[in-house]
Structure 1
Amino acid sequence: MPLFDLPLDQLRQYAPAVPEPADFDAFWRATLREAAARPVLVDVRPEPTDLRLVDSWDVTFAGFAGDPVRAWYTRPSGVDEPLPVVVEYVGYGRGRGLPHERLTWPVAGYAHLLMDARGQSGQYGVGDTADPHGAAPGGPWPVTRGILAPEGYYYRRLITDAVRAVQAARALPGVDPQRVVAAGNSQGGGLALAVAGLVPDLAALMSTAPFLCHVQRAIEITDAAPYGEIVNYLAVNRDAESAVRRTLSYVDGVCFARRACAPAHFAVGLRDTVCPPSTGFAAYNQYGAANGSAEPVARTMHVYPFNGHEHGDATHVRRQLRWLAGVLAEPAPAVPLADGAALVG
């Protein structure tokens, strides 16, 4: 795939005025308040993995509307002290898989909570979490379920699950609740970014090729799925454009990025048609801009000029490992709690 988006010098300055609803903060505050009314941990049980160096648990926590959400909790075997925890979110069409599939973070010495994606099992990986809220009007794909109104939209539920995963991680044994990191790639990167905008006291964010950023532009410049699924829906439902654009404005990663406080590590591939680089830069360039602090938030962006959605692969993971070790070795900065900043603790 050749370069198709803006030149890199323009990307580094690209900070579009992505519109956000007047009730954006109120919408998410009410959504998360309702979820927080329930105890977060439902069940934690040991999960045999046949691996000697890590221990795993099958975790169930209460997500949106109290729905049970599954996750794997894994940590280095024989380590008793509280550890920083990486809460990881999976890509589009994936489930949590099996506990031995993602071992980078526990092998590196971290606790690791991998959240399942409700109702997405079967396309790329196995999942165990149902989505019992499929009645709202919209298309058949996750990104179009309930897309005609924000209240019934699929990503309202999934983002709420993602915030609750942080709360569940903090309640797990062997976790240092002051050192929680949100991480993910593609859809997972978009969820991690949303969490960074909704949870004020994360220790760090790692968001790679984030999905759901500057969505209005994405659906105009790429036909690749998942954005292409929105395009296909609108190609049939021609009178739905206004309602769809309004719904998407409530989950746009740029809006969450503006409110974020945590040190952040981003990456994009310049040949990425799945999550175009301008959409990731739109979030990165406005990260922390409206979080209530007079000080800029520490952030870094890695660019892979010759890569697409695979970005930097193992090279990038190594950069994440080194960056996170440095961030967690430093004292955590004070978190501003001004109105309009991050929304939940």
Structure 2
Amino acid sequence: MPLTDLTLADCWAYRPDLDVPADLDAFWARTLAADEPGPAAYEPVDTGLVQVRTFDVTVPGYGGEPVRGWLHLPANADGPLSCVVEYLGYGRGRGLPHEKLFWAAAGYAHLIMDSRGQGWSAASGSTADPHPYPAGTVPGFLTRGVTDPETCYYRRLITDAVRFARAAREHPAVDADRVAVTGISQGGGLALAVAALDPGVAAVMPDVPFLCDIRRGVQVAGRGPYGEVTEYLKLHRDRGEQVFRTLSYVDAAVLAPRATAPALFSIAMLDQVCPPSTCFVAYHRYGGEKELRVYEFNDHEGGEAAHQLEQLAWLNKLLGSGTR
């Protein structure tokens, strides 16, 4: 597979100026304060597994709208636990309750957020996105409501993600001072955004993150969701600046300087979906202490299971899993 973006040396040097909306902080403060969501609900689920307890989760998200999820707890854990809140990749729902057990097996509480409108499995229960979007939107999520920050789909999804991090801290099995956020691709971009918008986050692990330096992503990505913007602007030739202005409000690289929690990034140098240069921009601009693992010969799969072990060692050292 050929190199499709900058070299590693050039990525280290690539530090563009991004367009930061003057009202960015006011926009997000108003968004997150727009309603007073009620408490999360947790219903036990019989998965047939004996080492992990699982709960069907409903968290009031954007506008108080119900967002589904799973909570996994180690069956015999004592005392408040560190918690990993996980956000999902593009087009993926929360799946079935037994699919993601790594963090619970390692002794952590693990809260998984469904992505509104993206779930596919009726068996798992999916989260709807009840908001209409204008005609002319191309298939996918990146251009939904993209002519105005107020209607942008990712305004809702990021708000959902912040609410899940807050819900984790409020759960009695969780140590509120030890909540980390993570995700791959779209989930990595959401984790970065949450770390920027929620000072209660204790650690962030963005893995090959999407939604970073979006304009460049649209220009150089070889495949994946950034192409939706290209297709949209082929139809709406006069809306380029309007579209990129809207997307700047949800760009994780734009938000990254506001985050202060320790971070462990991963970037894949042959990534055609989230070009490495875009991920490096978020890394360079990140406001807290940070480490990086580079997978020089991987595409968008990144480090996969090998990187999961890197995350576990890093998070164990930073937070630990059980009672302190």
Bin of the TM-score, shorter chain as denominator length = over 0.9
- Letter of the structure 2 residue corresponding to residue 315 of structure 1: A
- In the other structure, the counterpart of 1:80 is 78
- In the other structure, the counterpart of 1:291 is none
Q: Is the partner of 1:190 in helix, strand or coil?
A: helix
| Residue 140 of structure 1: how far off its partner (Å) | 3.4
Task: Work out whether residues 268 and 311 of structure 1, in 8 Å CA contact, stay in contact via their aligned partners in 2.
Answer: yes
Distance in 1 between residues matched to 2:120 and 2:107, nearest whole Å:
30
- In the other structure, the counterpart of 2:8 is 8
| Residue 127 of structure 1: how far off its partner (Å) | 5.3
- Letter of the structure 1 residue corresponding to residue 282 of structure 2: A
Distance in 1 between residues matched to 2:199 and 2:49, nearest whole Å:
35
- In the other structure, the counterpart of 1:311 is 302
Q: Aligned pair 1:52/2:50, yes or no?
A: yes
Distance in 2 between residues matched to 1:98 and 1:161, nearest whole Å:
20
| Residue 259 of structure 1: how far off its partner (Å) | 0.5
TM-score, normalized by length of structure 1?
0.89
| Residue 311 of structure 1: how far off its partner (Å) | 0.7
Distance in 2 between residues matched to 1:32 and 1:76, nearest whole Å:
31
- In the other structure, the counterpart of 1:31 is 31
- In the other structure, the counterpart of 1:292 is none
Distance in 2 between residues matched to 1:69 and 1:136, nearest whole Å:
23
Distance in 2 between residues matched to 1:223 and 1:272, nearest whole Å:
9
- In the other structure, the counterpart of 1:285 is 284
Q: Is the partner of 1:144 in helix, strand or coil?
A: coil
Distance in 2 between residues matched to 1:227 and 1:174, nearest whole Å:
39
- In the other structure, the counterpart of 2:140 is 141
| Residue 329 of structure 1: how far off its partner (Å) | 4.9
Q: Aligned pair 1:273/2:272, yes or no?
A: yes
Task: Work out whether residues 265 and 301 of structure 1, in 8 Å CA contact, stay in contact via their aligned partners in 2.
Answer: yes
- Letter of the structure 1 residue corresponding to residue 89 of structure 2: G
| Residue 173 of structure 1: how far off its partner (Å) | 2.5
Distance in 1 between residues matched to 2:174 and 2:297, nearest whole Å:
38
| Residue 323 of structure 1: how far off its partner (Å) | 0.6
Distance in 2 between residues matched to 1:222 and 1:185, nearest whole Å:
17
- In the other structure, the counterpart of 1:260 is 259
Which of 92, 96, 99 is the equivalent residue of 2:97? 99
| Residue 80 of structure 1: how far off its partner (Å) | 3.0
Distance in 2 between residues matched to 1:245 and 1:300, nearest whole Å:
29
| Residue 13 of structure 1: how far off its partner (Å) | 2.5
| Residue 29 of structure 1: how far off its partner (Å) | 0.3
Structure 1: which 5+ residue stretches go unaligned? 289-296, 331-345
- In the other structure, the counterpart of 2:168 is 169
Distance in 2 between residues matched to 1:154 and 1:314, nearest whole Å:
31
Q: Aligned pair 1:324/2:322, yes or no?
A: no
- In the other structure, the counterpart of 2:18 is 18
Task: Work out whether residues 74 and 112 of structure 1, in 8 Å CA contact, stay in contact via their aligned partners in 2.
Answer: yes
Q: Aligned pair 1:299/2:290, yes or no?
A: yes
Task: Work out whether residues 212 and 282 of structure 2, in 8 Å CA contact, stay in contact via their aligned partners in 1.
Answer: yes
User: Deviations along 1:269-288, whole A, 9 cap, x unmatched?
Assistant: 10001000000000001110
Distance in 2 between residues matched to 1:152 and 1:241, nearest whole Å:
17
Task: Work out whether residues 214 and 279 of structure 1, in 8 Å CA contact, stay in contact via their aligned partners in 2.
Answer: yes
Distance in 2 between residues matched to 1:2 and 1:211, nearest whole Å:
21
Distance in 2 between residues matched to 1:133 and 1:9, nearest whole Å:
43
Distance in 1 between residues matched to 2:223 and 2:14, nearest whole Å:
22
Distance in 1 between residues matched to 2:32 and 2:106, nearest whole Å:
32
Alignment identity in percent?
52
Task: Work out whether residues 116 and 127 of structure 1, in 8 Å CA contact, stay in contact via their aligned partners in 2.
Answer: no
- Letter of the structure 1 residue corresponding to residue 254 of structure 2: C
User: Deviations along 1:245-303, whole A, 9 cap, x unmatched?
Assistant: 11111011112211101000001110001000000000001110xxxxxxxx3211111
Task: Work out whether residues 63 and 69 of structure 1, in 8 Å CA contact, stay in contact via their aligned partners in 2.
Answer: yes
Evaluate the alpha carbon distance shift between residue 111 and residue 217 of structure 1 in structure 2; reply closer, same or farther with a 3 A threshold. same
Distance in 2 between residues matched to 1:146 and 1:88, nearest whole Å:
25
Aligned residues: 319
Structure 2: which 5+ residue stretches go unaligned? none
Q: How does 1:154-303 map to 2 (within 5 A)?
A: 154-288=153-287, 297-303=288-294
Task: Work out whether residues 75 and 112 of structure 1, in 8 Å CA contact, stay in contact via their aligned partners in 2.
Answer: yes
- Letter of the structure 2 residue corresponding to residue 167 of structure 1: R
User: Deviations along 1:162-196, whole A, 9 cap, x unmatched?
Assistant: 00001111122311111110000000000000001
Q: Is the partner of 2:67 in helix, strand or coil?
A: strand
User: Deviations along 1:185-243, whole A, 9 cap, x unmatched?
Assistant: 00000000000100113110000110000001111112412001111111122122121
Task: Work out whether residues 76 and 109 of structure 1, in 8 Å CA contact, stay in contact via their aligned partners in 2.
Answer: yes
Distance in 2 between residues matched to 1:59 and 1:309, nearest whole Å:
29
- Structure 1 window deviating more from structure 2 (223-232 vs 58-67): it is 223-232
Task: Work out whether residues 120 and 127 of structure 1, in 8 Å CA contact, stay in contact via their aligned partners in 2.
Answer: no
Task: Work out whether residues 185 and 210 of structure 1, in 8 Å CA contact, stay in contact via their aligned partners in 2.
Answer: yes
TM-score, normalized by length of structure 2?
0.95
